[in-house]
Amino acid sequence: MGQSTDKKALSLFSLVCMAIGLTIGGGIFVLTSVLSKKLGTTLPYFYLLASFPMFFIIFPVAVLGRYFPTNGGIYFYPSRLVSPRFAFLITWIFLSTASFGQVPLFTLACSDILFQIFPFVSKDLWAFLILTVFFLLNVLGLKPVLFVQNLLVSILIFLLGYSIFRLTDLQTASLISINSFPSFGIGLETISILCFTYFGSNAIIELGNETGKPKHLLKAFLWAFPIVVFIYFSFSFAISTLGTGNLGSGNSEYLFSLIQNRLTPTEYKVFLLGGPLLAVVTSLNGIFLIQTKSFIGLIEDGWFPYLRKGSESPSYIKIFTIIYILSGLGLYLQWNLETLATYSTVGWFFVILAQLFSLYPAKQILKENSYFPKLFFKTEFAVITVLGFGFAFLLTGILLYRLYEDEKLLGFIVVMGLGILYCYLISKFGKQKLIEKQNRKQEILNLYLKSEDIYE
C-alpha cells in the first residue's frame, strides 16, 4: 500500500525533522499568547503537564508503526485491524476537512506573517503562492521534500533557540509557589487545550515504507517528543519573564508586542520568519505529504476506482494535483476554515483511537503465529496503551463538546454523513471489494516479518 519510491529515503534524522515539523505549528504562539495573560509564570509547567497524556497517546502508535511498517497508516491500520468501512469513513473525514480547512488555514497563517514583512504583495496572493510552491515541491518527489523539511526544521530550531535566549530575562524570573497555580478546574481545562500542541509526531508512521529500518520510526518519536517539550517549555518560560503587556490587545498582538519590545527590529523580523512562519510552513509541508499516502491507500483498495486504471499504481502527480485543487478551492472560498480544521483534528483523533484499538487484534495475530516481540507484549506497554486510549477518548469528547457548544457540530455530522453515503453507494454500485479478513490478517503478519527481517 502506498508504494515507496525509495525504501531507504528516510533516515532517522529525516524522520525526527518530519516529526518535529509536524508537531510545532502556529498553535504554540497563539496559545502562549492567550494563556500567558491568565496563567503568567505558571504556563511553562502546564506545557510540561500536557506532554504526559500525549506521550501515552502517541507512544503506542509509534510502536504500532515500528512493528508493522507501512505507508498510509491513517487508513491502513484501521482497515486491516478494525473495519475497512470504518477506516474509509475516518480517513474521509480527515482528508476532506484537512484539504478544505487545515491546509488553507496554514497557508493563510503563513501569508499573514509574510505580509507583515513584505506588504507589497496581498495576503491572498501570498497564500496561493505558498500553496503552489509546496505542490510543486511534492510533485518533484520525496527527496526534495525531505531536503526542504530537514533544512527548515534545522533553521526553525536554531532561530527559536536564539529567540528564546534573547527573550529570557532571568532578572525578572521568580520561583513558583503552589498558590500561583489556578484552580483545579482551570488547570485541567488548560492541560486539555495544550495537549493539542503536541499532536503531529504520530503521523510519521504514515511513512513506514520510506525507511529501510522500521526501528527508526519509534526512535524518531523518542527523539522528537522531548525536543518539542523542551522547546515549548523554554519558549513559554521566556515569555513569562517579559512581564505583563497590554491585556486589552488581541491574542496574537499581545504576544508579538511583548517580543517586539524585547528584540531589535532586525531580530524581530528574523523571529517572525524563523519562528511562527517556519513553524507553520514545516507543518504544511509535512501534512501535504501525509495526506497523499492515505489517499493512495484508499485508491488501491478501490474506494475511488475512477482514479486508477486496472492494476496500475496510482499516479502521485494526479493525487497531489487533486489535493492542490481542493486546498486551492478551500483557500478561495475561505468557508469556516477554523471550523473545518477542528473537524480535521477530530477526524485525526478518531484515527488515533482506531490505531490504539488496532494494537489488540495485532497482538492476537502475533500470538496465533507464535511471535512474541518483547516490547509489544510487556504489561507496562498494555497499561500505557489503555491510558492512551482513555486520554484520546477524553480529548475527542472535549473537542466534540466544544463543537456542540459553538453550534458547529451539525457541520461535522454532515461531513460524516456524506462519507457514509459515499461508502454505501460505492459498496453497492461500484467495483469496490472488501479484502477478506484472513487476507487482512496475513498482510499484518507479513509487515511484522518484514520489520524483523524474518523470512518464511
CA atoms of 113 and 130, how far apart (whole Å): 12
pLDDT reported for residue 207: 84
pLDDT reported for residue 412: 94
pLDDT in tens, the chain (456 residues): 544 444 455 788 999 998 998 898 877 887 887 788 778 788 899 999 999 999 999 999 999 999 999 988 999 999 999 999 999 999 999 999 989 888 898 888 888 888 877 888 888 898 999 999 988 888 888 788 888 889 999 999 999 999 999 999 877 766 666 667 778 788 888 888 888 889 888 888 888 888 878 889 999 999 999 999 999 999 999 988 887 766 566 556 778 888 888 899 999 988 888 888 888 888 888 888 788 888 999 998 889 888 877 667 777 788 889 999 999 999 888 888 888 888 988 888 999 999 999 999 999 999 999 999 989 999 999 999 999 999 999 999 988 998 999 899 999 999 999 999 999 999 888 766 678 888 899 999 999 998 887 655
Nearest 5°: phi and psi at 207?
A: -115, 30
Which set of grid coordinates corresponds to residue 392? Answer: 484520546
| H helical segments located in 69-183 | 73-81, 84-97, 103-117, 123-140, 142-167
pLDDT reported for residue 138: 83
240-277 in b/e form (b: 16+ CB < 10 A) is bbbeebeeeeeebebbbbbbbebbeeebbebbbbbbbb
Checking 263-272 for CB contacts under 8 A at 24+ apart, the result is: 263/163, 263/166, 263/167, 267/163, 267/166, 269/117, 270/159, 270/162, 270/163, 271/159, 271/163, 272/113, 272/116, 272/117
Q: CB–CB of 32/235 below 8 Å?
A: yes
* Among 384, 363, 373, residue whose Cα is nearest residue 444: 363
Which set of grid coordinates corresponds to residue 312? Answer: 496500475
What 3-state class would DSSP assign to 335?
coil
Q: What is the pTM of this model?
A: 0.90
pLDDT reported for residue 282: 86
CA atoms of 155 and 129, how far apart (whole Å): 21
Tell me how many helices (H) and strands (E) the chain has: 18, 0
**Rg of the chain, C-alpha, whole Å:** 22
Residue 207, strand partner residues: 71
pLDDT reported for residue 175: 64
What 3-state class would DSSP assign to 332?
helix
pLDDT in tens, 87-129: 999 999 999 998 988 889 888 888 888 887 788 888 889 899 9
